[in-house]
Structure 1
């Protein structure tokens, strides 16, 4: 088996992410939504033909998954590992150039999606709250949830059973893992539990996606806000205060 950390494979994957247009497309897909080539071309500021070439290369390289529906082809990140790599690179870039001002607005820093889970101050605060209360317990490679943790999260609409449907949980009872937050530089929750929390709270209207702020907005549909109902529900069910 080829070592993925060897110079050849590592350089090839890094090169796929390094092109500015491809980097913008990958950042846009961190919203967790599947986008068409036309949408991604506009975000990247390239022609449709150029976008198609970039997308084909990223799909061949294992970064993207493609779903054909009618005459459209929808693109999404291929896996949680790809999303984690993008978030980690964002955090590394912020640490290397710490003097660079945050340019994405306070809404993005307060709460956003990191592919399919919560990030920003909200995601970090949730992680800290669950750990501090003992509702998460360490497991190989991440976290399991205690009986009380499961009950409290289930009461907010989280499908615990769906969160457990993963080989990692079957092997290690790992229901969630840490993902280092790009802006806060502290961990938020990823994995099955992180996914199901975001899905449940968006679905019941506790969270809502915020609109894009302009053409080519890299964080379009990633910015989220806690609704008044959500603020009340998070406070009452988890003791989590939101801004």
Structure 2
């Protein structure tokens, strides 16, 4: 494709994002779950019929995909590249939040501390993990999409199956700009595997109805033991 054709595709996807309701729906789907149209309508504060129209636009732009289970139809964000795009755009020029209720402030703090971004860990906890991976030489700063030999050893000791991870078509590591911290957390196959392992160990607990996750006391102790992370307030 030439630049003009590529430009037309880019413009189409940008137009699909340029609506508050559609953007709100995509931000909700960053939790990696499959949503119903009714759930997305409630999340965006619009009617189900309007949500259905918006989903048609998002499908046409290849930003979401349908998942069917029996008679039920679900929608989810298309892939981690789309999730990365949405998270990165959300990070650019984020205005100061207006005065809000204590409940809203607490919810924002929880999201900023630890949350899921598609299928990996974000927020302050995710950024600290990424920082320690770099500082400890587990990722090569000159090639930040691959583990070093030290990183491979660390992952094996932590219980991550590198053979299965590399069998996937996904990139091993994708630096993802965190919209609350303005620094990178780890996405890609490694980011997903780290989150899954932390959940399996009981270090991270998912919460219903929100992307925010809870770091348990075992998780705090564990992250200090394996990565020396002590400053998680």
**Alignment TM class, shorter chain as reference:** 0.7 to 0.9
Aligned-partner Cα distance in 2 for 1:42–1:159 = 38
C-alpha spacing 1:93/1:191, structure 2 compared with 1 (3 Å) = same
Of residues 213, 216, 219, the one that matches 1:230 is 219
Matches of 1:161 and 1:194 in 2, distance apart?
A: 15
Aligned to 2:102: none
Match of 1:65 in 2: 65
**Which aligned pairs between 1:111-190 and structure 2 lie closer than 5 A?**
111-138=114-141, 142-167=144-169, 175-190=172-187
Partners of 2:6 and 2:57 lie apart in 1 by 20
TM-superposed CA distance for 1:203, in Å, is 2.6
Deviation digits for residues 36-90 of structure 1 (CA, Å, limit 9, x no counterpart): 1111111112222221221122122110111111121111111111111111111
User: Helix, strand or coil: the match of 1:67?
Assistant: strand
Relative to 1, partners in 2 of residues 1:4 and 1:176: Cα closer, same or farther, differing over 3 Å?
farther
Bigger relative contact order (CA 8 A; separation at least 6): 1
Classify the secondary structure of the residue corresponding to 2:137.
coil
TM-score (normalised: structure 1): 0.84
Cα distance change, pair 3–69 in 1 and its aligned pair in 2 (3 A): farther
Which residue in the other structure is 1:83 paired with? 83
Paired position in structure 2 for 1:25: 25
Q: What SS does the corresponding residue of 2:27 show, helix, strand or coil? A: helix
**Contact kept in structure 2, 1:117 and 1:190, CA below 8 Å:** yes
Q: Please report the TM-score for the alignment, with normalisation by the length of structure 2.
A: 0.88
Give 5+ residue unaligned stretches, structure 1: 170-174, 213-219
Query: Does the 8 Å contact 1:4/1:10 carry over to 2?
Result: no
Q: What is the CA-CA distance between 1:138 and the residue it aligns to? A: 4.1
Instruction: Tell me how far 1:160 sits from its aligned partner.
Output: 2.2
Indicate how the Cα distance of structure 1 residues 192 and 6 shifts in structure 2: closer, same or farther if over 3 A, else same.
same
